Structure 1
Amino acid sequence: MESEQTQTFQMNWRKFYQLVRQARLPKMVIVLAVGLSLLQTAAGLVVPWFTKDMVNVLSTARLDPGIILLLSAAFLLQAVAGGFSSYLLSYLGETVVANLRKRLWQKTLSLPVSYFDQNRSGDLISRVNNDTYMIKDVITNHLVSLFSSIVSVIGSLALLFYLDWSMTLVMLIAVPVLFLVIRPAGRRMYQISKNLQKETAEFTSLLAQVISEIRLVKAYTAEPIERENGERGIRHLFQFGLKEARVIAFLQPLMSLVMTGMLVVIIGFGGIRVATGALTAGELVAFILYLFQIIIPLSMMARFFTSLQKAMGATERLSQILEHEEEEQKETDLAVNPALPIIIDNVTFSYVTGEEVLRRLSFTIEPGKITAIVGPSGSGKTTLFSLLERFYEPTAGEIRQGEIPIRRFRLRDWRSQFGYVSQESPLMAGTIRENICYGMERDVSDEEIRKAAKLAFADEFIDKLPNGYDTEVGERGIKLSGGQRQRIAIARALLQNPGFLMLDEATSNLDSTSEKMVQEALSNLMKGRTTLVIAHRLSTVVDADKIVVIEKGQVTGEGTHHELLRHHQLYQQLVKQQFRWELEGNVANTDQTAKGLS
């Protein structure tokens, strides 16, 4: 068990060292920080020696101004070197955290969608914010000062042996006692810290989830449930905080007891040595001061190992993110050609649960035409869209553009050719202008934005807003209606000018007025583009060039609306059941028109 813990510590230490090393800290700043820290330590070691001389001089009733001057200079040097060293150490700590957070942020954006399916966003937020702070604390407050503490301890011990080796040996009895106390306490602190970080991540996840879905919480009067969930998380954090406090409460008084006992023994033993003439009064004072020069660094080293144990837990969690597989970013000269068909060839796919969502799926999406996908809920329609955008890779089979498998295209080039409009039409917090331009790497003129908004029939409501295109949409676009969000999403797709268009039930949540405007906007968007549509409404698919029926992850029929209506039983049922209200509405409108004509 002990060797296992040692191996875990060594592995985490190597990972911690790698994280710090990869931050590419400026070497000159490190040298300067260490040099100033050592200079501060050296000045601290000189002070007791000058104090010894001053006490011996005072005992003979003579005061030497030179000694006082040297002592003052040592104090001043120690203070100045300490101040600059402290600032440089903080600079190094902030640099490590900034670089580490930058790496984590870049990694987060490179992680596959499957990672976010399995991990909560709040957990990731906690790692980027809280865990990196623990690493910063070790570097800023402890790591470099560890070297100066070691120098201080070694230098003080050497001078103590020079002053009186017998008293020094008596003092060293406390060292193995301290080691036996610190080692098990450090292991315990590592485990507590690891669990505390886990609980902090879970609590952060809960906060992020509840705050982002606060309307759902209030709509279903779930405040008592979420209050209990939050209080449970707070209780767990409180309990782990108390466990950490108990270790510290045990460790610090015990160390103080050992140090105080050692100090009492040294003063008593030193008094006897002074009385016998083996030691001068000044040397005893210097001995006691050097003893403090050992006690303070040793306590700093103890805090370093405690903080290091916390950082080890943080390092382990951060490494899990940094070592996770990224989305493949191949560099290739292959160009995406929207004029070629997309061929889904015998594609099978399952999520991590193992259940197959798509089974040997095969059909062709013809260029420049509208292909509609229909089928019962859970048949795999949205999963197919995810595969086309390469959020996931097929378990078996392949998707090709022409004769080229889409996995051979550069991921960024492939996705940039797709415009996606879903029923939710997600917007980012910011202005309408920023959302229409979202993802554009070039400067976009106001004229282009207005043209896209006009084609999306969004200009009429945008112009009526007090701040127009600079109106804030709120988190996830909550300040706008569903139809308005849809039209902004369509304007965004128009501005991107994609080769392929994917519409995922883009009008399913809209009232009849909004639906009509969105349908007209979609018509403008679909012109000249290869379009793939998921829809439950008949008006969306009846004019499609081809309709593909998917049932339980398999294609069970292809053809036009009229062909499938004659020969495909499931499609007939979908028309009768899911499209019934629309058909009835069409019939009612026809009857009213006929009556008006008569």
Structure 2
Amino acid sequence: MNRNKSKRQESKASKPFLTLLKETKPSYGLLAIAIALSIISTLVGLVIPLFTKTLVDGFSLASVSKMQVAAIAGAFIAQTIAGGVSIYILNYVGQKMVASLRERLWRKFLVLPVSYYNEARTGESVSRMTNDTGVIKTLVSENIASLFTGVISIVGSISVLLYLNWKMTLVLFTVLPLSALILVPLGRQMYKISKGMQDETASFTATLSGVLSEIRLVKSSGAEQKEFKAGKAGIMNLLSFGIREGKINAMINPLVSFVLMMLLVVIIGYGGMQVSSGALSAGELVAFILYLINIVMPLTQLTTFFTQIQKAKGASERMIETLGAEEEMYEGKEIINGSETAIRIEGVSFGYKTGENVLNNVSFQMLPGEVTAIVGPSGGGKTTLFSLLERFYMPLSGVIKFGDNPVSEFSLTSWRRQIGYVSQESPLLAGTIAENLGYGLDREVSKDEMINAARMAYADGFIEELPDGYNTDVGERGVKLSGGQRQRIAIARALLRNPSILMLDEATSSLDSQSEAVVQRALSNLMKGRTTVVIAHRLSTVVNADQIIFMEKGRITGTGRHEELLQNHELYRQFATQQLQMLAPEGDTSVDEEDR
């Protein structure tokens, strides 16, 4: 019963693996040609022992005609060429299949929702793209032909041996099944080890990516030893799997050699007696030995193939999971003109984990052309609300509407095209300033547009002072620029998008007071005619807002203008008082009665 269950599990594992290969749409024509050439090469190899038999049994070189020599030489040359071309075609097909698979994975990674990346580590995704697909490529380009040629070589050799001497051939079958009984369980063990190896490789790659991408944090925190220990643990785990894999190989390879030697001893011993008695010619004995090699060598290749296919099964399972993950829904209506449309949040609740809501029954509206400031203590749900507006997540209940339609009815591309987003982190990609300014735009940006946007964001000054100007490389994640410089480039990037909705997560927080004043004026000009929502921590940002939303623990506890909330909301009054005290000259903590 357990054996049947094991077979069902193996079959279940094979089906998605074969489906994965099929979905890469390989060139079946080229595969057929490559396999046909390999088969031709194998068939030529089956003729050689017969020629050797005739030669040993008294066939002299003197009786060989030039045509026969040319035919034999031509067969060898054809075998060599066919083998070489077959290897190239299989490698070509394998590379194309892996490229197709990587293309599918890359597309998938880009359309997966943000929630997927909250759970999956970046390094694991990188491992899917590199290590796992490499295993598939090795199987297709190096091992798949051995399945066909190995079977043909074994079947063909056994057929000829049965024709030459069926009694001696039956002796072979007393040994070959014994090796199969050992090799099959070892193959299953290899599958388990390979699957564990793939998972551990992905985890180790994730650790490396995480540490190296935040190497400045590691060094500034003095965490080198801690991370070394974590990395060493991953290395030791990989070592453990590698040693276990080595043990399996250490059993498989000597076993095949043992089978070969045992068969040679049996054939030579038994065949020698047959030759002595006259029942077998010396040429037939030599042919038997050569055909034995034609059986055992392909058997070794088949063992390698089945070992590799076990590895490929383990590698493909995670890729299949990734390719089957739920994608963001990009389909929907196009937004023609969003600048005159209100945004309504109606009874929205959301939580990252079941039963732990971050937002609870949030409702308010943002009128076109007006500024909405969202304030409140940390952890109140302000950033989560921004994520919902960007449609990184969908509300658990309630709805966000754009005009009279839920935002989910609009195409994701069209909706996000309406939004200009500037966060506190100001993320930049490796590349030039110009590339970062035009990033994500579906049109070419002229140099004049860039300069104008940079000027409005107060970034033109420092850009022009750089040696390469707008062609200056910013480094990975923009590390070659200061925080304030990155912030201003992010603002200029938002300006170039010309959005109808602005989302500002304290966009001027990294700037000095002089730069902030200029950028604030630029943002004020940009806000005209646009719906703006801003997460604010400074009183100067919210005083002139058309409405202020005060959030605490995922709920709205106050809505109104600055003056209204000063009178009616105790926590907002405390917030405003603290801000005014921070702005007051040293030694003067008084607050004007009017501001109270």
Identity %: 51
**Structure 1 range deviating more: 75-84 or 427-436:** 75-84
Q: Please name the residue that 2:35 is paired with.
A: 34
Q: Please name the residue that 2:472 is paired with.
A: 471
Secondary structure of the residue aligned to 2:544 is coil
* TM-score, normalised via structure 1 length: 0.95
1:7 and 2:8 correspond: yes
Q: Please name the residue that 1:497 is paired with.
A: 498
Question: How far did residue 279 of structure 1 move?
Answer: 1.7
Q: Please name the residue that 1:595 is paired with.
A: none
Q: Please name the residue that 2:450 is paired with.
A: 449
Is contact 1:487-1:521 (8 Å) kept?
no
Judged with a 3 Å threshold, the aligned counterparts in structure 2 of structure 1 residues 579 and 130 are, in CA distance, closer, same or farther, namely farther
Judged with a 3 Å threshold, the aligned counterparts in structure 2 of structure 1 residues 333 and 499 are, in CA distance, closer, same or farther, namely closer
Is contact 1:57-1:63 (8 Å) kept?
no
Q: How does 1:97-116 map to 2 (within 5 A)?
A: 97-116=98-117
Secondary structure of the residue aligned to 1:398 is strand
**CA-to-aligned-CA distance 1:25-61 (integer Å, 9 cap, x gap):** 2232112111111111111111111121222235x68
**CA-to-aligned-CA distance 1:387-434 (integer Å, 9 cap, x gap):** 001000000000001110110001110011101001111000100000
1:20 and 2:44 correspond: no
**CA-to-aligned-CA distance 1:267-297 (integer Å, 9 cap, x gap):** 1111111122222211211111111111111
Q: Please name the residue that 1:565 is paired with.
A: 566
CA distance in 1, matches of 2:44, 2:355: 67
Judged with a 3 Å threshold, the aligned counterparts in structure 2 of structure 1 residues 587 and 534 are, in CA distance, closer, same or farther, namely farther
CA distance in 2, matches of 1:14, 1:338: 51
Judged with a 3 Å threshold, the aligned counterparts in structure 2 of structure 1 residues 587 and 483 are, in CA distance, closer, same or farther, namely farther
Is contact 1:505-1:536 (8 Å) kept?
yes
Question: How far did residue 586 of structure 1 move?
Answer: 12
**CA-to-aligned-CA distance 1:445-504 (integer Å, 9 cap, x gap):** 112111211221211111111100000011111111111111111111111111100001
**Structure 1 range deviating more: 500-509 or 551-560:** 500-509
Judged with a 3 Å threshold, the aligned counterparts in structure 2 of structure 1 residues 61 and 515 are, in CA distance, closer, same or farther, namely closer
**Structure 1 range deviating more: 531-540 or 17-26:** 17-26
CA distance in 1, matches of 2:387, 2:337: 18
Question: How far did residue 228 of structure 1 move?
Answer: 1.1
Q: How does 1:335-484 map to 2 (within 5 A)?
A: 335=336, 337-484=338-485
Is contact 2:456-2:519 (8 Å) kept?
no
Q: How does 1:155-166 map to 2 (within 5 A)?
A: 155-166=156-167
Judged with a 3 Å threshold, the aligned counterparts in structure 2 of structure 1 residues 386 and 336 are, in CA distance, closer, same or farther, namely farther
Q: Please name the residue that 1:244 is paired with.
A: 245
Is contact 2:332-2:409 (8 Å) kept?
no
Judged with a 3 Å threshold, the aligned counterparts in structure 2 of structure 1 residues 120 and 585 are, in CA distance, closer, same or farther, namely farther
Is contact 1:50-1:71 (8 Å) kept?
no
CA distance in 2, matches of 1:515, 1:334: 33
Question: How far did residue 63 of structure 1 move?
Answer: 4.8
1:552 and 2:553 correspond: yes
Question: Which consecutive unaligned segments of at least 5 residues does structure 2 have?
Answer: none
Secondary structure of the residue aligned to 1:394 is coil
Q: Please name the residue that 1:75 is paired with.
A: 76
CA distance in 2, matches of 1:17, 1:579: 67
Judged with a 3 Å threshold, the aligned counterparts in structure 2 of structure 1 residues 23 and 442 are, in CA distance, closer, same or farther, namely same
Q: How does 1:47-86 map to 2 (within 5 A)?
A: 47-58=48-59, 62-65=62-65, 67-86=68-87
Secondary structure of the residue aligned to 1:82 is helix
**CA-to-aligned-CA distance 1:78-136 (integer Å, 9 cap, x gap):** 11110000000100110111000000000000101000001100010011100000111
CA distance in 2, matches of 1:205, 1:330: 32
CA distance in 2, matches of 1:161, 1:187: 32
CA distance in 1, matches of 2:90, 2:543: 69
Question: How far did residue 444 of structure 1 move?
Answer: 1.7
- The one-letter amino acid paired with 1:159 is V
Is contact 1:329-1:410 (8 Å) kept?
yes
Question: How far did residue 557 of structure 1 move?
Answer: 0.8
CA distance in 2, matches of 1:373, 1:219: 33
Secondary structure of the residue aligned to 1:57 is coil
Judged with a 3 Å threshold, the aligned counterparts in structure 2 of structure 1 residues 235 and 14 are, in CA distance, closer, same or farther, namely same
Secondary structure of the residue aligned to 1:97 is helix
Judged with a 3 Å threshold, the aligned counterparts in structure 2 of structure 1 residues 509 and 455 are, in CA distance, closer, same or farther, namely closer
Q: Please name the residue that 1:286 is paired with.
A: 287
1:257 and 2:258 correspond: yes
Is contact 1:548-1:555 (8 Å) kept?
yes
Is contact 1:463-1:469 (8 Å) kept?
yes
